Amino acid sequence: MNLLLAFSLSSWAAFASAAITASESSTAISVGNGRLAFSVNKGAGTIDRLSLDGQDLLGSGGRLYLDCHCDSGYWNGGSFQLYRGTDKAGVAHAGVRISAKVDSGRTFESYYFLRDGETGLHTFGRVAYPNGGSLGEMRFLFRPSSSIWNHLSSSDEMWSVLPTESGRTTVQDTTYRISGDGVNARYRTQMSDYFSKYMFSESWEYHTHHGLFSDGTGTRDGSTYGAWLVMNTKDTYYNGPKWSDLTVDGIVYNYIISNHHGNGNPDTRNFDRTFGPQYYYFNKGAKGASVNDLRRDAGRFGDPSWNADFYDSIAQYVPGYLPTSGRGTWSGRIGLPASVTKPIAVLASNGRDFQDNNLDTKSRQYWGEVSSSGEITIPRVAAGTYRLTVYGTGIFGQYVQDEVVIRAGATTTTTATWAPESAGTELWRIGTPDRSCGEFRHGNELDSTRINTPKQHRLYWAVHDFPKDFPDGVNFHVGTSNITRDFNYMHWSVFGGKANTIRPEPYYTNVNTWTVTFDTTAAQLQGKTRATFTVQLAGVKTSAGNTDDTNKAFANLAYTVTVNGRALPVWTIPANQSSSCGARSAASCYNTHNKWTFDASYLQQGLNTFSLSLPARATAPESAVLPESVYLQYDALRLEVS
Ligand SMILES: *[C@@H]1O[C@H](CO)[C@@H](O)[C@H](O)[C@H]1NC(C)=O
Ligand SMILES: *[C@@H]1O[C@H](CO)[C@@H](O)[C@H](O)[C@H]1NC(C)=O
């Protein structure tokens, strides 16, 4: 029996080994496993040929590569290393490292590994900056020029045909009005009259994969195909679950570093970091299979434990990849507030907001949903010291605990009780604290005029014409008004003007100041001395946009609240919390908040009036075609007394 097993195992290993082919010439390295084959072009430093079961997936001029906005921009060539081996399970693999030295001794490396029996590439990206400097973007791109790819998919709900560039007109930076017949007409009935790469952006919080789909039109035998980026690991990205970025627009991205939606760029002093692995997965389906059929198949790999043994086997080739021996398990027992839903526990950079962990060169990050009974287990956490943050829908604020130590090879259990923040008796709240403006007008409301009913915030913002929706401005009366109708998802200073082709003239009347009214009874105020007003923001765009640039007017943005005519201290929202958010189709970006505490005597029995103001006519020049107004997006607001 044992002998038989040993025999069959070793003969299988030999067969597996034989099934990987790899060859190198002065101009190319080619690797294949009988189904998936790729070739690295040494002159370009990119993968320029990729096929599955004989179907060309890239087309002529298409490529898969790592790209950066470093000082010299796009980089070519470099040095090349071919690896071949057999992993612990006896399965053969081959891999290629593309390594380039650019300005000031900086190193950029991409790694692609193919395993026998799989139809995807395991990718790692490494960047080393010995002396600091700008690193604005870093991303892998599967950039086909083949016409087989005719659908986009970023979630089960968010998919459509891919419109063509023919006849389109620019309405905003990388945002187009789509015209014409055929596929473009289909796009308009499925999704929108407009297309932007930001419409398919996603937050990493729950995201697992995105990609391109071919419905079989133009493939060799009519089979359907998919090209997916699967985030099987997320621990080397930054900004925790609140990272939000582009996923697919005809290119299948793996965004590693960017400042989109308020994402932070890393501190590059003494920087040497390897990102990944992530998995570019290619699949083939029967004729007539749907985008979500192939999407579901790709979703199987969105798990950090998947292929962990294989990654241990190749760790010797990938500097900075942390094998299983350097990892432990974290287990949480969290006393949760009774009314919380979707509680998320995050382990990230000790001593700082997880949204800012880009400033911690070595930071790793992990998160997951806590069960309703308060339990969570996260495997494969890098040994180290972390801040634990717990937040969830329905609860203002969050729970924070530093100095959570994870040891390699061990399970660490943290017991914690999240007592929700409170400043007395709640008189009212507007919105649901969930780090998003989705519950307000044009947020997550579906656009039922289109077959695929996209969430309205994903559309080109100008279609949500504020002056038409709110001719008298926002006047919200607590208790009778309706947040889905009477509270807009974006609070503008000015509506219209640049980047708004529907309302090209700026509109100012009743835009920058919103009014919230409510009634209080004598009993509610009886014996109360302090009032606390809390504003949580899902996102805010000061004139700094996605940069931290403080040179323009309104870069640090003044937000003013008055209570029955009395002004509270101005909240100046700093430029480094700014993000280009709603204008880039997002309902949640960099989150921030403020609390005002004031004498309860400002409140009165009967009708009370709060005004919430951005500075009037607060615009600053934009070099790109983008709206020049500042704006913010509320998560939730509440008033408490004690
Ligand atoms: C609130 O407004 C939305 C959108 O107009 C509507 O669908 C919903 O029924 C309203 N809710 C109530 C309680 O009136
Ligand atoms: C943002 O800027 C403020 C100073 O205005 C600074 O104190 C803070 O640390 C900065 N935050 C980040 C994340 O850079």
pLDDT surpasses 70 at 48: yes
pLDDT surpasses 60 at 487: yes
Residue 69 has a pLDDT of: 81
In the chain, the domains with their CATH numbers are 2-154+201-317 (2.70.98.10), 325-417 (2.60.40.1120), 425-641 (2.60.120.260)
CB-based contact 237:245 (threshold 8 Å) = no
Inter-CA distances, 385 with 95, 268, 324, 367, 501, Å: 33, 21, 17, 15, 50
pLDDT surpasses 60 at 15: no
Give the percent of the chain with pLDDT over 90: 92
Torsion, Cα 465 467 471 472, to 10 degrees, reads 120
pLDDT per residue over 489-528, tens digit each?
999 999 999 999 999 999 999 999 999 999 999 999 999 9
pLDDT per residue over 262-291, tens digit each?
999 999 999 999 999 999 999 999 999 999
- Cα separation, 386 vs 401, whole angstroms: 9
- Cα separation, 453 vs 538, whole angstroms: 23
Give the atom of ligand 2 at the shortest distance from the alpha carbon of 576.
1
Q: Which residues of 446-457 are buried (b: 16+ CB within 10 A; e: fewer)?
A: ebeebebebbbb
Residue 486 parent element (H or E): helix 483-486
- Cα separation, 159 vs 458, whole angstroms: 12
- Cα separation, 425 vs 528, whole angstroms: 9
Q: Which of 439, 484, 488 to mutate to test the pocket of ligand 1 (most atoms within 8 A of CB)?
A: 484
Pick the residue whose CA is nearest to atom 4 on ligand 2: 574
Pick the residue whose CA is nearest to atom 9 on ligand 2: 576
pLDDT category at 11 given cuts 50, 70, 90 is: very low
Regarding the beta carbon of 576 and ligand 2, being less than 6 Å apart is answered yes
Regarding the beta carbon of 356 and ligand 2, being less than 6 Å apart is answered yes
Regarding the beta carbon of 331 and ligand 1, being less than 6 Å apart is answered no
- What's the gap in Å between 436 CA and the centre of ligand 1? 19
The closest alpha carbon to 358, from 271, 435, 436, 279, belongs to 271
- What's the gap in Å between 483 CA and the centre of ligand 1? 8
Bridge partners of 430? 637
pLDDT surpasses 60 at 546: yes
Residue 101 has a pLDDT of: 84
Fill in the amino acid letter for 497: G
CB-based contact 627:486 (threshold 8 Å) = no
Residue 456 has a pLDDT of: 98
Residue 47 has a pLDDT of: 97
- What's the gap in Å between 353 CA and the centre of ligand 2? 11
Torsion, Cα 112 113 119 125, to 10 degrees, reads -40
DSSP per-residue letters across 603-625: S-SEEEEEEEEPPTT-B---SSS
- What's the gap in Å between 484 CA and the centre of ligand 1? 6
pLDDT per residue over 236-262, tens digit each?
999 999 999 999 999 999 999 999 999
CB-based contact 602:610 (threshold 8 Å) = no
Mapping DSSP to helix (H, G, I), strand (E, B) and coil, where does residue 109 land? Answer: strand
- Nearest bound ligand to CA 456? 1
Give the atom of ligand 1 at the shortest distance from the alpha carbon of 445.
4
- Cα separation, 139 vs 135, whole angstroms: 11
Q: Write the DSSP symbol of residue 100.
A: E
Mapping DSSP to helix (H, G, I), strand (E, B) and coil, where does residue 559 land? Answer: strand
pLDDT surpasses 70 at 18: no
Neighbouring residues of 277: CB distance < 8 A, sequence distance ≥ 6 = 122, 123, 124, 232, 233, 307, 311, 321
Residue 451 has a pLDDT of: 98
Give the atom of ligand 2 at the shortest distance from the alpha carbon of 574.
5
Burial class (CB in 10 A: 0-12, 13-18, 19+), 18: exposed
Residue 71 has a pLDDT of: 58
CB-based contact 252:210 (threshold 8 Å) = yes
| Average confidence (pLDDT) over 467-477 | 98
Neighbouring residues of 495: CB distance < 8 A, sequence distance ≥ 6 = 465, 466, 467, 503, 506, 507, 511, 629
CB-based contact 210:250 (threshold 8 Å) = no
| Average confidence (pLDDT) over 26-47 | 96
The closest alpha carbon to 251, from 58, 121, 70, 73, belongs to 58
- Cα separation, 178 vs 275, whole angstroms: 36
pLDDT per residue over 302-313, tens digit each?
999 999 999 999
CB-based contact 307:122 (threshold 8 Å) = yes
Residue 225 has a pLDDT of: 98
Residue 1 has a pLDDT of: 29
pLDDT surpasses 70 at 455: yes
Number of helices and strands (H, E) in the chain? 7, 40
The closest alpha carbon to 130, from 292, 268, 285, 242, belongs to 268
- What's the gap in Å between 571 CA and the centre of ligand 2? 15
CB-based contact 429:421 (threshold 8 Å) = no
pLDDT surpasses 90 at 13: no
CB atoms within 10 A of CB 351: 11
CB-based contact 107:74 (threshold 8 Å) = no
- Cα separation, 45 vs 66, whole angstroms: 9
Regarding the beta carbon of 556 and ligand 2, being less than 6 Å apart is answered no
| Average confidence (pLDDT) over 161-166 | 96
Fill in the amino acid letter for 144: P
pLDDT surpasses 60 at 8: no
Residue 547 has a pLDDT of: 85
Residue 75 has a pLDDT of: 61
- What's the gap in Å between 239 CA and the centre of ligand 2? 15
The closest alpha carbon to 198, from 451, 438, 436, 459, belongs to 459
φ and ψ of 548, to 5 deg: -105, 20
Residue 6 has a pLDDT of: 34
- Cα separation, 634 vs 614, whole angstroms: 13
The closest alpha carbon to 550, from 572, 526, 582, 521, belongs to 572
CA 239, 491, 188: angle at the middle one, nearest 5?
80
Residue 364 has a pLDDT of: 98
pLDDT per residue over 112-154, tens digit each?
999 999 999 999 999 999 888 888 899 999 999 999 999 999 9
Inter-CA distances, 198 with 249, 378, 457, 579, Å: 8, 31, 11, 13
The closest alpha carbon to 461, from 166, 196, 250, belongs to 196
CB-based contact 496:469 (threshold 8 Å) = no
Mean per-residue pLDDT over the chain, rounded: 95
pLDDT surpasses 70 at 593: yes
pLDDT category at 103 given cuts 50, 70, 90 is: confident
Mapping DSSP to helix (H, G, I), strand (E, B) and coil, where does residue 75 land? Answer: coil
pLDDT per residue over 351-400, tens digit each?
999 999 999 989 999 999 999 999 999 999 999 999 999 999 999 999 99
- Cα separation, 395 vs 432, whole angstroms: 8
Residue 240 has a pLDDT of: 97
Residue 411 parent element (H or E): strand 411-417
Residue 104 has a pLDDT of: 73
- Cα separation, 242 vs 591, whole angstroms: 8
CB-based contact 288:216 (threshold 8 Å) = yes
Q: Write the DSSP symbol of residue 566.
A: E
Compute CA 306 distance to the chain's CA centroid, rounded to the nearest angstrom.
22
**CA-atom Rg of the chain in angstroms:** 26
Query: Which range scores top for mean pLDDT: 59-73, 255-269, 407-421?
Result: 407-421
